[in-house]
Amino acid sequence: MDAVLKEYPDSVQHVFKQMPLVQIHPFAMNAAKASIAAQRQGKFWEMHDILFKNMRKLQPEKVRTYAEEVGLDMAQFDKDMASPDIDAQIKEDMTLAQKSGVRGTPTIFVAGKLLQNRSPDGFKALIDPALKN
């Protein structure tokens, strides 16, 4: 994804939607909530990166430590973690994913089309025609 964003800096946008697979990852919902709480403080990608780096260690106390590591205001983080608005945002993202036929993560769409080939050539094959339109 980083290579794609570097190749198309002014014409490609990376949009992340939540789809915590709670059936197989018991702390997935907690991680999803934490990333949105971080987003509210302008640190989504920092939190995203540390969560994925530590995907086997997502217990609530660990996630709270990661929030501290990325420099979040912890009082605000705790408030946001308990916010029903965050729960609603996750539910909305999950509904969109289900309607779009998403079965697992990560799933990538380019210009509304499911990306099958995740190589640089695969991205290019969907991006270039979309940019011409």
pLDDT per residue over 26-74, tens digit each? 999 999 999 999 999 999 999 999 999 999 999 999 999 999 999 999 9
Q: Looking at residues 75-92, what average pLDDT do you find?
A: 97
Domain coordinates of the chain in residue numbers?
1-17+107-133, 20-100
Long-range contacts of 40-45 (CB under 8 A, 24+ apart): 40/76, 40/80, 41/72, 41/73, 41/76, 41/77, 43/70, 43/71, 43/72, 44/16
Task: Kindly tell me if the per-residue pLDDT of 103 is higher than 90.
Answer: no
20-100: CATH superfamily = Glutaredoxin (3.40.30.10)
Instruction: Say which DSSP state 2 is in.
Output: H
Q: Looking at residues 92-103, what average pLDDT do you find?
A: 93
